Structure 1
């Protein structure tokens, strides 16, 4: 099983439909898409700046932003199955479908290690990959990604969040951080994985 995080910055990009089409066609039965919060999460940041509510409320609102983006993705690509829990993800994959995660289970009543802006949807994708014992984690970004950069360097430059390196430190899966234009490379990886 692969976890593929689609950056929220793609929410207004025509390439989003390409990614969704490729992942739904080639990833059926083995891909879980984790949506970023996109413009929905930007609204959370804006309102937190205005009203100064705490990071727990902001975290919960950002989780809902990811869920909104998941629903939008399914609206764009009806072959996707919105899954809100690990059993639903596994069921969708067992049925040969591609799942898109709406992480309602991450809503919190009390603050914990996930409820700060140091943890974005990138780290939540890694958290899910760890829980699902994923074979691979792919993070798709709109910005240019220097393939020679370490995870620590990408976090320092703001490409990844501050907790990502910690969450992936002991990961057993390969980690790929790719630019949105590299969908053909990911297509080849998926095709190769299907035949090996």
Structure 2
């Protein structure tokens, strides 16, 4: 199983539909998409700045933003299956489909290690990959990615969140940071994986 996080900054990008089509065409039964929160999550940040509510409320709003992006992705590609739980993800994959995660089970009443802006959808994708014993984690960003940089370097640049390195430090799977223009590379990876 591969977890593919698609950055929320791609929510208005014409390449988003191509990414979803390729993942559905070549990743059926193997891919779980984790959507970023995009503009919906930015609204949570902006409202927190205005009203000064705590990070638990902001986290919950950002989780709902991810769920909104999952619904949008499903609207773009009806072949995706919206899945909110581990069981729903596994059922979609077992049926040969691609799941898009709506992480509604991550709504919390009290603070924990996930309820901070240091943990964005990047780290939540790694958290899910760890929980599901994924074989690979791909994180797709809108900006250009240089393959020789570390996750810590990308965190320092603000490309990924500050917690991602901690979530992936001992990961038994490869972590690939990709640019929005790396769709052909992912197609090749998925095609190669099916022939192994």
TM-score using structure 2 length? 0.99
The equivalent of 2:116 in structure 1 is: 116
Shift of 1:144: 1.2
Give ranges in structure 2 of 5+ residues lacking alignment: none
Q: Number of paired residues?
A: 196
Measured in 2, the distance between the counterparts of 1:122 and 1:162 equals: 9
The equivalent of 1:72 in structure 2 is: 72
Measured in 2, the distance between the counterparts of 1:49 and 1:183 equals: 36
Superposition CA RMSD, Å = 0.4
4+ residue stretches of structure 1 with deviation over 2 A? none
SS at match of 1:16: helix
Measured in 2, the distance between the counterparts of 1:186 and 1:25 equals: 12
Shift of 1:146: 1.4
Measured in 2, the distance between the counterparts of 1:73 and 1:126 equals: 20
Measured in 2, the distance between the counterparts of 1:189 and 1:44 equals: 35
Q: Superposition pairs for residues 33-52 of structure 1, below 5 Å?
A: 33-52=33-52
Give ranges in structure 1 of 5+ residues lacking alignment: none
The equivalent of 2:91 in structure 1 is: 91
Measured in 1, the distance between the counterparts of 2:40 and 2:194 equals: 34
Measured in 2, the distance between the counterparts of 1:162 and 1:192 equals: 32
